[in-house]
Structure 1
């Protein structure tokens, strides 16, 4: 972050984003979330275009559905059979990198989202999450008062 107060999404977003492909499975998504300690994973096509967003709520909802139907003993087996393409829709909310932070924050609040993929056109260039906004607030609160 620059010394001046950030004003655009590009200034606080995460650029090195872990992603999934729509042919991957719910099990793959769950494992990547666990490994990278994240709650949201953008789903992209071969050209890096955003096709959706997998979030922890979807993983939990589907795991509960599968456990209820088949039991917990075979949960991983069934998670490996659920293709992301069956869960992901391309119309997920997104934000442009040059969007004002206030607009992105409002979108997170009004739509009760934990993260927004950041795009330039249709190509994924980052992700901005509620954690990024909390970090920004904490830094602002910790800054010396003039």
Structure 2
């Protein structure tokens, strides 16, 4: 989570909130009282809707006047979903996904102590995947059985290759088959590929639409 929080009070003018979002290049502003207690949250979407709602019936001058008088408390979401500092990344991601929201204020002892956004979670995902310019991706379709990770790890160990990351997920449409994606340093990429192929693995090194040729025997 980010702890260098930028918050606003309920009586903050909407125009000021818009300025903060633009200047700080953020999309969410927790709304708090004077004691860091969470009262609501205002988002970039909320502000766009506030801009659009009266725009069709008011002149530019009238619209400016209305927006100058409008306060954050009039447009903020009050029923806010939150996270806690000890919540797992997976749980936070599930809440964001299921409720189609972009951020979760993090609350401890009734006070806002941070915020976690979809962008933060994407950074965590990329880090956990070992994604970097100096790493390469090797993909295999494997049977869901005990020892498969050990076999791949042993093949890499015997070749003196360090695995940067491994992730597995079920192969859609194929029961008991999983796709395993491994990343290694580009300097040993070809060596890793040869080692896996020597052990009988059908390695996917590029995008393929039909994975049938790569299914295990």
Q: Give the TM-score normalised by structure 1.
A: 0.84
Range that drifts further, 74-83 or 19-28 = 74-83
Give the number of the structure whose alpha-carbon radius of gyration is greater: 2
Match for residue 51 of structure 1 among 26, 39, 49: 39
- Report the counterpart of residue 64 of structure 2 in structure 1: 76
Shift of the alpha carbon at 1:69? 2.7
Question: Is there any run of 5+ residues in structure 1 with no aligned partner, and where?
Answer: 1-12
Alpha-carbon distance change, 81 to 19 in structure 1, aligned in 2, over 3 angstroms: same
Which of 23, 38, 48 is matched with 1:35 structurally? 23
2:76 to 88, 109, 128: 88
Q: Give 1:22's match in structure 2, choosing from 1, 5, 10.
A: 10
Which stretch shifts more, 56-65 or 75-84? 75-84
Partner Cα distance (2:71, 2:9) in 1: 10
Task: Note if 1:117 corresponds to 2:131.
Answer: no
Structure that is richer in strand per residue: 2
Quote how far apart the aligned CAs of 1:67 are: 1.4
Task: State whether residues 93 and 116 of structure 1, in contact with CA within 8 Å, keep that contact through their aligned partners in structure 2.
Answer: yes
Q: How many residues align structurally? A: 134
The offset of 1:138, in angstroms, is: 1.6
Q: Distance in 2 between matches of 1:20 and 1:64?
A: 22
In structure 2, the residue corresponding to 1:98 is in which secondary structure? coil
Q: Provide the aligned C-alpha RMSD in A.
A: 1.6
The match for 2:141 is none
- 1:120, distance to aligned residue in structure 2 (A): 0.3
Whole-angstrom CA distance in 1 between matches of 2:120 and 2:98: 17
Any unmatched runs of 5+ in structure 2? 133-163, 165-182, 185-217
Within 1, Cα distance between the matches of 2:89 and 2:81? Answer: 15
SS at match of 2:128: helix
Q: Runs of 4 or more off by more than 6 Å in structure 1?
A: none
Whole-Å separation in 1 of the counterparts to 2:28 and 2:17 = 9
Deviations 1:7-40 (A, max 9, x none): xxxxxx1100111000111111111000100010
Q: Output the CA distance in 2 between the equivalents of 1:74 and 1:25.
A: 16
Instruction: With a CA cutoff of 8 Å and minimum separation of 6, indicate the structure with the bigger relative contact order.
Output: 1
